[in-house]
């Protein structure tokens, strides 16, 4: 356990352990529930300061990537402990900066430290190294085979962008940072300016953990800066070798472009937008629907709908059972009040999205919730259209970030599947069904597998488990790269690459592939796993 | 074993099993040793024909990706058997089209069928599915956990570009095709126009294997077309979900650009260029050097230097031992004759590259080999420069594809390491050393790990083993994506993505993650591997 340490929000970036005043203007946090500015002001870094951070990250890389599983795991656990130690100060600041309730922030802190500890266990277990040994075959004909071994190493310094909607779990010490550090990569975080004080407190926790672990301070930096300018510069920096981002499609596309235009293009993991279609099949609509519609409205309006996995699209059959679903959902929504959104900008964009849906041809408003009692708390809204209209209007697939939903009425399974096949890539798809819907499910599932990263039955996509089997990802434009996940232990593979070693004497081999297996790894020998 | 089947070079593309005349002009193969054209002419496909192929691939994807491990493995083995069955006809055609000796073609065929069988064994073993189960925890507080499972599926149809320098092992049924098929992805091959007859024969072998296996013909198509036009169209086709390419940097960069500009960007695995630096440390130069210099010249001139792993750059210390190395290498090269290059264009580009090196400031010619006795068989060439000059001339890092080498003389370990750190990404780096060089090695190795995909000691990079620990890849510009390999069993992961399944009844789950584990896979349960 780490000791408690004094911390304070000073409005300073952390550049390789040094609390640093900005050199390019300032920004202040705003309490979105009241519209009031929060002290202190945060200094924005200059290009030179950014470069100091990336240089330090590059310099720290070899030391950090060489850490033993135990040392790296213990460091990740210290980060978790130090975040826990921040106590009420962190909750209070995060609530003030985001308008999210204290219970939600506490829950998100639990998730954040939980995922740091999960990655510690993954690193300690060691399978992520993917050690392989193909022993020499000196007598092989026609030519002998030399000894060849392989392990995975970190890609290098990783740029991580804090997300507005998860000030802890997808930000400074969130999933991208945790998985990059677990993979042995130094991390430079561009803080989200909507919660800079939260970022600074967490950044101090990471920096203290480095110090307590005897690791180079350059392994972590936290930068405040204007989003576009510093963000682009960070992705363009030749020392940065990968990018993790959660945010808007516009932001993600800009980072993808910057990364692909570098002299050395680098991987970008951008989690961007998803409307998370829900397919309500006829069988589930027989009898009482209240649990279903309450679940839908609860998931759609939870946290003002500010979740990547918010169910924004629900396919419901035509007919009386479907009509009952719409009526019941409308009734539930009418009783639901809006809650404070993360920023005034997000609230305005949500209102504009709802207005856009209102104006869309063939779309009608089904219900409106109540406005919340604070600033930036718009009323939730629910709309309806037909499958035929939806299929003809690609703009209806644009995410409205907030508590807004669209019900799409379909005439037949065939029509539903046909429209499903036209959906863009999504993080999730949900099916609500009974055994009676089996034949429809069999047709729908293969279509969904090609569209999404996670398929759910009879549950709701919000509330993403941090585990070993979780995939929080999916085909473009849900993410920039469908080959991985941003939640769960599989994420460690994002930031690694394989290196092989041929005919190298044991004394010069890295520990994971030395003959004596000092790290006690499970290794694949000639393709077959040989347990430690 | 498959039955022998009549095959013939008809000059026709194979579109989902159908032998198809072109609709956009013709091309003929040329024997590079004689300059004569080879019958027949090959019809080039139209855009409509290309689309027929990609539509068939998309339509076949669900069936093909659902095949059991045994069915998919048996199919890959049938492809291998059918290529073996092609016998002398394949060797004869490939020799005529490439100018490569029959023994090399036979060896490459062995490698090609060997890697198909390796992927069959990988698929049959099943770990590539990466099945994971996080069981439900109904009693967990504060909220129960639902059952979540994960498996990897194929990305979708893959476009593969045949490579000029490996008419079998990196072409129609080469590593990219084998790994994509193993991952459950249909493949559309754009044949290399330098060996179209070879491509057609191998394409028939694949098509026959599909038929014999009762699999949809759309799983494979082979297209003849003008490189740029059809290649770009193939990568731009919305049904194509990934690209495999081995060739020039120009070609690879064009495909990367096309893929990133799609509405849905897709992964490109382009293996482009590498000069494969060799570091000769002082210890190895004491005493007799003949084995070392013969090895170098042999590796550099093998196959006219037309290997991705050709050692084009050798770091040698200044001083008398280094001088002896240069003299000895020069003597060996002077006795070495050029051999036929793959095409007149490649031969001309090689001559231009050698001329460019001749003209480069601070570079001097050390030795010239003998011209070969055929067309397109330029004399090998060896040059020398200083580490300081090399560091200042980035153009000297451009690959000269052919039997050309550059010796870089360094004054100290520090200078050598400093220049190594300035190298672009490479497929391989080789160190020649003894135990006496240990301290130099310790400094050099971490630098090389960040630059290359494979590090070798006291051997030569040409001759890439197809195994489980091989990495044939590396940082840009050696490849477009350092996170994988184009040779060896790890390549199967290129063409996969994870999908998770939450709260789904067993009857609707795919086989690999059903409770009864019908495919007998090793699965990770709550993070720990549970053997089948």
Whether residue A256 and residue B260 make contact (CB cut-off 8 A), yes or no, is yes
**Is B115 inside a domain boundary?**
yes
Mean pLDDT to the nearest integer, B104-120: 97
pLDDT at residue A449 in the model: 98
Q: Cβ contacts of residue B364 below 8 Å, gap of 6+?
A: B383, B384, B385
Cβ-nearest to A459 among B66, B146, B507 = B146
pTM over 0.90? The answer is: yes
Q: Find the length of chain B.
A: 532
Chain A residues lying within 8 Å of B484, measured CB to CB: 497-498
Question: A228 and A192 in one domain?
Answer: yes
Assign A1 a pLDDT band (cuts: 50, 70, 90).
Answer: very low
Q: Where are the beta strands (DSSP E) in A233-387?
A: 242-246, 268-271, 277-280, 313-317, 364-368, 381-386
Q: For the residues of A237-255, what is the DSSP string, one character each?
A: -TT--EEEEES-HHHHHHH
Q: In terms of C-beta density within 10 A (0-12 exposed, 13-18 middle, 19 or more buried), how is residue B472 classed? A: buried
Query: Nearest 5°: phi and psi at A269?
Result: -105, 95
Contact A386, A409 (CB under 8 A): yes
Q: In terms of C-beta density within 10 A (0-12 exposed, 13-18 middle, 19 or more buried), how is residue A44 classed? A: buried
Cβ-nearest to A455 among B442, B484, B501 = B501
pLDDT at residue B254 in the model: 96
**Is A395 inside a domain boundary?**
yes
Per-residue pLDDT for B342 more than 70? yes
User: Treating both helix axes as pointing N-terminal to C-terminal, what angle do B69-85 and B175-182 enclose, rounded to 10 degrees?
Assistant: 150
Chain B residues lying within 8 Å of A432, measured CB to CB: none
Per-residue pLDDT for A3 more than 80? no
Question: B301 and B178 in one domain?
Answer: no
Burial letters A399-433, b for 16+ CB under 10 A, else e: bbbbbbbbbbbbeebebbbebbeebbbbbbbbbbb
Contact B308, B274 (CB under 8 A): yes
Whether residue B125 and residue A483 make contact (CB cut-off 8 A), yes or no, is no
Assign B23 a pLDDT band (cuts: 50, 70, 90).
Answer: confident
Burial letters A137-169, b for 16+ CB under 10 A, else e: eeeeeeeebbbbbbbbbbbbbbbbbbbbbbbbb
Number of domains making up chain B: 3
Cβ-nearest to A467 among B148, B267, B459 = B148
Burial letters A102-117, b for 16+ CB under 10 A, else e: eebbbbbbebbbebbb
Residue A47 three-state SS: helix
Chain A residues lying within 8 Å of B528, measured CB to CB: 125
The pair of structure tokens assigned to A85 is 């130690």
pLDDT at residue A532 in the model: 86
Whether residue A155 and residue B482 make contact (CB cut-off 8 A), yes or no, is yes
Of the two residues A7 and A182, the one the predictor is more confident about is: A182
pLDDT tens column, A422-478:
999 999 999 999 999 999 999 999 999 999 999 999 999 998 999 999 999 999 999
For A139-148, the CB contacts below 8 A with 24+ separation are: A143/B463, A145/B465, A145/B467, A146/A502, A146/A503, A146/B459, A146/B465, A147/A502, A147/A503, A147/A504, A148/A500, A148/A501, A148/A502, A148/A503, A148/B465, A148/B467, A148/B469, A148/B470
In the block, tokens 């971490």 appear at B446
| A515/A522 Cα distance (integer angstroms) | 13
| B355/B369 Cα distance (integer angstroms) | 15
Question: A348 and A295 in one domain?
Answer: yes
Question: B307 and B193 in one domain?
Answer: no
Q: For the residues of A391-419, what is the DSSP string, one character each?
A: HH-GGGGS---SSEEEEEEESSHHHHHHH
Contact A452, A425 (CB under 8 A): yes
The pair of structure tokens assigned to B483 is 């996170």
Assign A355 a pLDDT band (cuts: 50, 70, 90).
Answer: very high
User: β-strand A132-134 against A242-246: which pairing, if any?
Assistant: unpaired
| A354/A363 Cα distance (integer angstroms) | 11
Whether residue B459 and residue A502 make contact (CB cut-off 8 A), yes or no, is yes
Half-sphere exposure at residue A450, Cβ-oriented, CA atoms within 13 angstroms: 23
pLDDT at residue A7 in the model: 57
**Quick count: other Cβ atoms within 10 Å of Cβ A287?**
8
Chain B residues lying within 8 Å of A498, measured CB to CB: 453, 471, 473, 483-485, 490
**Is A466 inside a domain boundary?**
no
What is the SS3 assignment for A506-529? HHHCCHHHCCCCCCCCCEEECCEE
Q: For the residues of B306-358, what is the DSSP string, one character each?
A: -STT---EEEEESSHHHHHHHHHHHHHHHTPBP---S-HHHHHHHHHHHHHHH
Question: B139 and B179 in one domain?
Answer: yes
Chain A residues lying within 8 Å of B485, measured CB to CB: 498
Question: A102 and A232 in one domain?
Answer: yes
How large is the ipTM?
A: 0.96
Closest C-alpha to B307, from B189, B173, B170 = B170
Contact B363, B396 (CB under 8 A): yes
Closest C-alpha to A93, from A152, A35, A31 = A31
Per-residue pLDDT for B285 more than 90? yes
Question: A323 and A255 in one domain?
Answer: no
**Is A240 inside a domain boundary?**
yes
Distance, first Cα to last Cα, chain A? 29
The H or E element spanning position B118 is helix B102-125
Whether residue B465 and residue A146 make contact (CB cut-off 8 A), yes or no, is yes
Contact A243, A269 (CB under 8 A): yes
Best A240, A394, A498 residue to mutate vs chain B (most B CBs within 10 Å): A498
Beta bridge partners of residue A43, listed in sequence order: A26
Q: Cβ contacts of residue B502 below 8 Å, gap of 6+?
A: A454, A455, A456, A457, A459, A465, B146, B147, B148
Question: B401 and B354 in one domain?
Answer: yes
Chain B residues lying within 8 Å of A155, measured CB to CB: 482-483
Question: A255 and A296 in one domain?
Answer: no
**Is A501 inside a domain boundary?**
no
Nearest residue on chain A to B496, alpha-carbon basis: A483
Average pLDDT, rounded, for chain B = 96
Q: Cβ contacts of residue B500 below 8 Å, gap of 6+?
A: A453, A454, A455, A469, A470, A471, B148, B149, B150
Whether residue B265 and residue A480 make contact (CB cut-off 8 A), yes or no, is yes
Q: In terms of C-beta density within 10 A (0-12 exposed, 13-18 middle, 19 or more buried), how is residue A359 classed? A: exposed
Min Cα separation B105/chain A (Å): 15
Per-residue pLDDT for B72 more than 50? yes
Question: B149 and B286 in one domain?
Answer: no
The pair of structure tokens assigned to B287 is 């005493």
| B329/B405 Cα distance (integer angstroms) | 11
Q: What is the separation of C-alpha B57 from the centre of its chain, rounded to a whole number of angstroms?
A: 22
Closest C-alpha to A118, from A153, A81, A77, A66 = A77
Question: B304 and B215 in one domain?
Answer: no
Assign B7 a pLDDT band (cuts: 50, 70, 90).
Answer: low
Min Cα separation A481/chain B (Å): 8
Per-residue pLDDT for B5 more than 60? no
Contact B523, B517 (CB under 8 A): yes
Mean pLDDT to the nearest integer, A359-386: 96
Chain A residues lying within 8 Å of B115, measured CB to CB: none
pLDDT at residue A8 in the model: 85
**Is B462 inside a domain boundary?**
no
User: β-strand A528-530 against A523-525: which pairing, if any?
Assistant: antiparallel
Whether residue B500 and residue A529 make contact (CB cut-off 8 A), yes or no, is no
Whether residue B489 and residue A441 make contact (CB cut-off 8 A), yes or no, is no
Q: Catalytic positions of A, please?
A: 271, 308
Min Cα separation B367/chain A (Å): 30
Distance, first Cα to last Cα, chain B? 29
Contact B163, B174 (CB under 8 A): yes
Q: Catalytic positions of B, please?
A: 271, 308
Average pLDDT, rounded, for chain A = 96
Q: The domain containing residue B146 runs over which residues?
A: 13-272+484-494
Per-residue pLDDT for B456 more than 80? yes
pLDDT at residue B8 in the model: 85
Beta bridge partners of residue B454, listed in sequence order: A500, B428
pLDDT tens column, A224-254:
998 789 999 999 999 999 999 999 999 999 9
The enclosing domain of B433 has a CATH number of 3.40.309.10
Per-residue pLDDT for A404 more than 70? yes
pLDDT at residue A226 in the model: 87
Cβ-nearest to B453 among A132, A496, A498 = A498
Contact B188, B157 (CB under 8 A): yes
Mean pLDDT to the nearest integer, B8-28: 95
Q: Cβ contacts of residue B247 below 8 Å, gap of 6+?
A: B161, B163, B164, B270, B271, B272
Q: In terms of C-beta density within 10 A (0-12 exposed, 13-18 middle, 19 or more buried), how is residue A170 classed? A: buried
Question: A305 and A207 in one domain?
Answer: no
Per-residue pLDDT for A6 more than 80? no
| B92/B506 Cα distance (integer angstroms) | 53
Q: Where are the beta strands (DSSP E) in A47-118?
A: none
pLDDT tens column, B353-405:
999 999 999 999 999 999 999 999 999 999 999 999 999 999 999 999 999 99
**Is B468 inside a domain boundary?**
no
Whether residue A469 and residue B132 make contact (CB cut-off 8 A), yes or no, is yes
pLDDT at residue B417 in the model: 98
| B183/B179 Cα distance (integer angstroms) | 6
Cβ-nearest to B468 among A501, A505, A526 = A526
Contact B452, B430 (CB under 8 A): no
Cβ-nearest to A468 among B153, B504, B524 = B524
pLDDT at residue A4 in the model: 41
The enclosing domain of B155 has a CATH number of 3.40.605.10
The H or E element spanning position A116 is helix A102-125
Whether residue A498 and residue B489 make contact (CB cut-off 8 A), yes or no, is no
Q: What does the DSSP 8-state code read for residue A438?
A: H
pLDDT tens column, A50-96:
999 999 999 999 999 999 999 999 999 999 999 999 999 999 999 99
**Is B67 inside a domain boundary?**
yes
């Amino acid at each position: 356990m780490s000791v408690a340490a004094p911390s304070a929000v000073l409005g300073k970036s952390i550049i390789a352990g040094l609390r640093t005043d900005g050199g390019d203007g300032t920004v202040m946090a705003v309490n979105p529930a009241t519209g009031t500015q929060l002290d202190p002001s945060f200094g924005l870094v200059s290009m030179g300061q950014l470069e100091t951070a990336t240089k330090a990250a590059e310099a720290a890389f070899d030391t950090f990537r060489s850490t033993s599983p135990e040392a790296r795991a213990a460091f990740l656990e210290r980060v978790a402990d130090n975040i826990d130690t921040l106590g009420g100060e962190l909750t209070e600041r995060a609530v003030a900066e985001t308008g999210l309730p204290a219970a939600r922030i506490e829950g998100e802190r639990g998730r954040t430290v939980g995922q740091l500890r999960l990655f510690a266990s993954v690193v300690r277990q060691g399978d992520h190294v993917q050690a392989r040994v193909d022993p020499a075959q000196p007598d092989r004909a026609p030519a002998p085979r030399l000894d060849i071994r392989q392990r995975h190493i970190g890609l290098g310094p990783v740029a991580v962008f804090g997300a507005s909607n998860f000030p802890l779990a997808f930000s400074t010490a969130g999933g991208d940072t945790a998985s990059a550090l677990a993979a042995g990569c130094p991390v430079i975080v561009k803080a989200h300016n909507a919660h800079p004080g939260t970022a600074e407190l967490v950044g101090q926790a990471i920096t203290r953990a480095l110090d307590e672990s005897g690791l180079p301070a350059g392994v972590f930096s936290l930068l405040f800066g204007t989003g576009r300018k510093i963000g682009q510069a960070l992705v363009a920096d030749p020392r940065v070798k990968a990018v993790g981002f959660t945010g808007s499609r516009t932001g993600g596309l800009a980072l993808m472009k910057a990364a692909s235009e570098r002299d050395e293009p680098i991987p970008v993991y951008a989690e961007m937008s998803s409307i998370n279609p829900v397919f309500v099949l006829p069988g589930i609509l027989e009898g009482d629907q209240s649990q279903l519609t309450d679940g839908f409205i609860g998931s759609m309006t939870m946290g003002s709908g500010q979740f990547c996995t918010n169910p924004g699209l629900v396919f419901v059959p035509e007919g009386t059972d479907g009509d009952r679903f719409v009526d019941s959902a409308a009734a539930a929504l009418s009783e639901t009040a809006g809650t404070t959104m993360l920023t005034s900008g997000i609230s305005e964009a949500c209102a504009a999205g709802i207005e856009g849906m209102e104006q869309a041809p063939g779309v009608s408003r089904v219900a409106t919730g109540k406005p919340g009692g604070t600033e930036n708390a718009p009323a939730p809204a629910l709309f309806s259209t037909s499958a035929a209209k939806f299929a003809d209007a690609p703009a209806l697939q644009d995410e409205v970030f907030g508590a807004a939903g669209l019900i799409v009425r379909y005439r037949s399974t065939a029509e539903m599947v046909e429209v499903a096949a036209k959906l863009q890539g999504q993080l999730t798809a949900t099916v609500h069904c009974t055994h009676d819907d089996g034949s429809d499910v069999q047709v729908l599932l293969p279509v969904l597998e090609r569209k999404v990263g996670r398929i759910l039955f009879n549950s709701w996509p919000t509330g993403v488990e941090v585990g070993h089997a979780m995939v929080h990802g999916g085909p473009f434009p849900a993410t920039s790269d469908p080959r991985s996940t941003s939640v769960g232990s599989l994420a460690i593979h994002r930031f690694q690459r394989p290196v092989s070693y041929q005919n190298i004497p044991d004394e010069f081999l890295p520990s994971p592939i030395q003959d004596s297996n000092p790290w006690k790894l499970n290794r694949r020998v000639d393709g077959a796993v040989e347990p430690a």
